[in-house]
Structure 1
Amino acid sequence: MNLAELLSQQARHRPQAIALLDLTRGRLRQVRFAQLDEWGRRGASLLAREGLQAGDVILIFHPLGVELYAALAAVLRMGLVAMFVDPAQGTEHIARCCQLLPPKALLATPKAHLLRLTTPALRRIPVKFATGLGAPGAIPWRRWRSCAPSSWMAPCSPDTPALVTFTSGTTGQPKATVRTHGILLQQHLALERTLGLTPDDRVLTTLPLFVLSHLAAGASTLLPRVNLRSPGRVDGPGLVAQMERHRVTCLEGSPTLVDGVVRACEAQGRILPGLTRVFSGGAPVFPQLMARVQAVAPQATVTAVYGATEAEPIAAIHYHELDEDDIHQMQAGAGLLAGRPVPEICVRILPDRWGTPWGSLSPAEFEELTLPPGVPGEIVVSGRYVLTGYLHGQGDAETKIRVGETIWHRTGDAGYLDHEGRLWLLGRCAARVADARGVLYPLSVEAPAQAFPQVRRAALVAHAGQRLLALELDGPPTPTLLQQIHAQVGRDRIDKIWVLPRLPVDRRHNAKIDYGELRQLLIANQKTAAPS
């Protein structure tokens, strides 16, 4: 099935229902399902008129907004492959991605078209479209308005490519993740069951790919006015005002973005009674944040979702499912409870050999390697929407395991399954500290530290032959506080605590610790940081 068919079904069954509420330009723009489907049909006609055919790759540089999803509706309907590259990674990264998968067309904002001046790979793209006011040498995308709506939809098999995104490539050649129509459909079904959205819901989200699933489910999606390139600096009060004004029932976002909303409510003494669901993921979601969310949204089901680019979702847990023993175990260093794996995903724990390829294994060998409950190791997953490989096999040897006819994906995360079948996370395998005392995983000390309300972020790192816990605090680092934290995480496990003004985080969510940058920061700040 072509994924665009799900949007057309919503247009036929609920033509006047609101599909998108777009505040990204500072004013409200509402688009109904029938309108969005028609715009996609007209856009498909324009793409066909300019010579594009099913299977062609179109590189898209466009921010979150109505125009992006109208264009995606056209691209999917035509059977084209939408290719997304982060321009913030620089012109060399763009060039490497275009070499790995040469685009036939470019669809971009006028500002993004300026990259053509410094990027020969973009100038070589045969067909160029420009949104907004247009750009020299580019076809105005607004011409779709004068095109007749296309009645044709490209037939797609489950293996037909639909979307391509790239890793950062900071350690070498970027890897291209290819999501087929079949993978997107299975992912939508899993998200639909996990999130439980209905046509009565209005979702505020900052997760662009999730919007496709929401449109397929018939839920209205609010695209907020927020700087997605810096979710850690979100205007919390402004976001809360948008949620209240437009009667949002469901909030989705990274832990950092959700924290910004909660902080705004706490500072103003506000409650969000209209929220019925809050979902957070993309980085560790600690129970302390979930408790604070529950306090400002008392009617909401608060859920932490665990997943990866190659497999989303993997597991989920509701705040009300956590009992006192779970909280105690997390504070005692057992890791972070991610919940039960979703039914569509198989999870196994293998010995931690991150950095060393497994190659192919027989089913018997794989079962023999699988670790029993309670034993930590490397988390591997398989399932209908788990990406089984990267484009041209780039990166497959390091991250995939072939077991008979099944491909297992190595998440790069460490963890274990408990005797109830629940998944516990221990952090990134590459961030573990291995020394004469043994192996120490990040979340076994970061989770206990995050139990203190003064701790904004915590990170385990090896530095100068010692195990250090780096902290970013709300407020001054009093000796009493640092001693309490050190006692909680275990003085026999951590040598020192260092307090830094800010811990480095990932660009996408501003929530995951960048351990490599942290090590460099510790070297630069070791004379000024405050050790315990």
Structure 2
Amino acid sequence: MQDDVINIALYLRAQANKNPHTCALMAPIEGTFSFLTRPVYIRKTFAELEEESNGVAHILQRKGIKRGNRVLLMVRPGINLIVIAFALFKIGAVPVIMDPGMGVKNFLSCIQKTNIDALIGVPLAHRLSRIFFPYFKNVHTRVVVRSGGFSREIKKRGLFRDFPLAQTKRNELAAILYTSGSTGAPKGVCYEHGMFDSQIRMIRDFYGIQPGEVDMPMLPIFALFNPALGMTTVIPKMNPSKPAQVKPELIVQSILDNNITNTFGSPAIWHKITEYCAKNEIKLPSIRRILMAGAPVSDALMERTQDLLPGGVVYSPYGATEALPVTSIEAVARKLAKRQGLVGKGTCVGKALPGMEIRIIRVSDDLIQGLSDDLILPKGEVGEIIVRGPTVTREYYHLAQETAFAKIKDGQTFWHRMGDIGYLDKNDNLWFCGRRVERVVNGDKTYYTDCCESIFNQHEHVYRSALIGLGPSEQATPAIVIEPHPQFYPQNREEETAFKRALLDLAKQNEVTQDIDQLFFYKSFPVDVRHNAKIHRLTLAHHFNKKLKPINV
């Protein structure tokens, strides 16, 4: 690969030449009867994936899509999505990817900001674009994708010949990936071709991924990396827009049937899988590594998942859409940190990956023009996490103010503000304490979500908890909202009172939470649309600030 030409599609072409007959993709056939637990798969080799993406690139180019066009992809996860994405990379066009569950208002706002040139999507997507025509008025090319994809048209027109790859540069825009908007409005993150290339190399080298492995990505975007890594992609039988509703028996069966060696999924997914495996006494011997991310991963969940792997390792990488990965930690290392008695001190997320740098600065809700020594905090002191490295994105698309707030200049380079609070310990491990906007300030004392919630989460009847603030932002009263395991939700005042007493006893034993005496119960927390795992604490705070009726003993 030439140093001045970087294009993720070059990796696919290299795999097609080196391993043409190796299976690249396996996807469940749409319309498989729901009572079948073992779906029938369509298979594509690397040569077939290369050939088909060439054909689609020819078709899209003939329809008017060209280098630099911003193309909204509204296609269901599967073979079509991957083929179309690689076709766009070959053209040099820019895929725009949004979460389908972000809500109509956010979706239309993102469309308006992005000013898309083309729409490639299923028939429903095109119907919606006509209903909301003013937001799509600049779209000059529309391509309808049906379940069969483009195979028939490629054969009919004989479009099997090579497609000349766009000679995209390292700093050229490759894709616009929207954040989930879990703590604010979704923003379009600009990924350059060089950043994708750096991500691929970093993930491959750090986790030791080898060609010939079999991956099941439970977040569709990760499937785009697999051809570059030489891995076979097995697309799971699940609705990626609702990962918490996954049927664990289908995922487990697919892992066992296809000898999956690698998989990525959110804590919400692995919570269900570990429960199912424990109940049915199932182990997952083929898996070499599990990457679990998307929200803070509890020590207990990492331990339960690790117990399923006779020869594998559970990792929890830390990062964000704007910078991924930043750090990584293994289940064994997390367990060691837990044994050190650091409950209430945050969650250890590991050391920086090679090439990544981390600093902790004084917490600020304001714009920071440049990095200075007086901003940087020493090890052990809690502050705002900032990162720098080859996988850190430069800007949000057409959001100058948001970009200026999120980036800090440092000479000829810049740092990204993660929006998280944490600290570095004496061994350079990063500890996560919570989101900056979700901290609760009460005069001279500040409460951090991850630190406080870990105390209450120790109770065996608690599924998860959420720190919220009641009242004015600078003098907010800290309160905890509890989501019990369904079978332990209090059914009457007596059970409620007893449950609260037990929780407050836990709180009094730790200086982090000893001042907290306001407590609420909530049956099912609002969570993010992408991973179904990040708690919408600000939504909960708004709800309970309106009620202001805490449970009193």
Question: C-alpha distance in 1, partners of 2:188/2:78?
Answer: 24
- Segments of structure 1 that go 5 or more residues without pairing to the other structure are none
- Aligned CA distance change for structure 1 residues 502 and 96 (closer, same or farther; 3 Å): closer
Question: C-alpha distance in 2, partners of 1:43/1:531?
Answer: 63
Structure 1 match to 2:115:
102
- Aligned CA distance change for structure 1 residues 24 and 102 (closer, same or farther; 3 Å): farther
Question: C-alpha distance in 1, partners of 2:15/2:150?
Answer: 29
Pick aligned residue for 1:462 from 469, 472, 477: 469
Supply the RMSD in Å over aligned alpha carbons: 2.4
Deviation at 1:431, TM superposition (A): 0.7
Structure 2 match to 1:58:
71
Residues 352, 378 of structure 1: 8 Å contact kept? yes
Deviation at 1:102, TM superposition (A): 2.5
Pick aligned residue for 2:396 from 381, 386, 390: 390
- Aligned residue pairs total 521
Residues 24, 64 of structure 1: 8 Å contact kept? no
* Amino acid aligned to 1:385: T
Q: How does 1:352-367 map to 2 (within 5 A)?
A: 352-353=363-364, 355-361=365-371, 365=372, 367=373
Structure 2 match to 1:2:
7
Instruction: Report the identity percentage.
Output: 29
Deviation at 1:523, TM superposition (A): 4.6
* Amino acid aligned to 1:230: K
Question: C-alpha distance in 1, partners of 2:195/2:518?
Answer: 46
Pick aligned residue for 1:511 from 526, 530, 533: 533
Pick aligned residue for 1:276 from 285, 288, 297: 288
Deviation at 1:85, TM superposition (A): 3.0
Deviations 1:243-280 (A, max 9, x none): 11222122210111111110111122222222221110
- Segments of structure 2 that go 5 or more residues without pairing to the other structure are 1-5, 33-39
Q: TM-score, normalised by structure 2?
A: 0.88
Question: C-alpha distance in 1, partners of 2:427/2:530?
Answer: 33
Question: C-alpha distance in 2, partners of 1:497/1:469?
Answer: 5
Pick aligned residue for 2:43 from 10, 18, 30: 30
Deviations 1:423-445 (A, max 9, x none): 00000011111103511111111
Residues 129, 140 of structure 1: 8 Å contact kept? no
Structure 1 match to 2:126:
113
Question: C-alpha distance in 2, partners of 1:322/1:497?
Answer: 29
Question: C-alpha distance in 2, partners of 1:510/1:291?
Answer: 21
- Aligned CA distance change for structure 1 residues 3 and 531 (closer, same or farther; 3 Å): farther
1:227 correspondence with 2:234: no
- Aligned CA distance change for structure 1 residues 52 and 456 (closer, same or farther; 3 Å): same
Deviations 1:342-392 (A, max 9, x none): 112110000000x2000134xxx2x33211100010000111110122223
Residues 349, 379 of structure 1: 8 Å contact kept? yes
1:70 correspondence with 2:88: no
Deviation at 1:211, TM superposition (A): 1.6
* Amino acid aligned to 1:517: T
Q: TM-score, normalised by structure 1?
A: 0.92
Pick aligned residue for 2:456 from 445, 449, 462: 449
Q: How does 1:290-439 map to 2 (within 5 A)?
A: 290-322=302-334, 324-331=336-343, 333-353=344-364, 355-361=365-371, 365=372, 367-392=373-398, 393-436=400-443, 438-439=445-446
Deviations 1:486-506 (A, max 9, x none): 345555232233222112211
Structure 1 match to 2:35:
none
Question: C-alpha distance in 1, partners of 2:319/2:503?
Answer: 32
Q: Which moved more, 1:155-164 or 1:264-273?
A: 264-273
- Aligned CA distance change for structure 1 residues 224 and 450 (closer, same or farther; 3 Å): same
1:132 correspondence with 2:138: no
Q: Which moved more, 1:373-382 or 1:439-448?
A: 439-448
* Amino acid aligned to 2:442: D
- Aligned CA distance change for structure 1 residues 196 and 450 (closer, same or farther; 3 Å): farther
- Aligned CA distance change for structure 1 residues 317 and 172 (closer, same or farther; 3 Å): closer
Question: C-alpha distance in 1, partners of 2:184/2:333?
Answer: 42
Deviation at 1:133, TM superposition (A): 6.2
Question: C-alpha distance in 1, partners of 2:92/2:509?
Answer: 55
Q: In structure 1, the residue corresponding to 2:249 is in which secondary structure?
A: helix
Q: Which moved more, 1:170-179 or 1:401-410?
A: 170-179
Deviations 1:79-128 (A, max 9, x none): 11111233444555444333333222211011211112311133541111
Pick aligned residue for 2:503 from 465, 474, 482: 482
- Aligned CA distance change for structure 1 residues 448 and 91 (closer, same or farther; 3 Å): closer
Q: How does 1:166-177 map to 2 (within 5 A)?
A: 166-167=178-179, 175-177=187-189
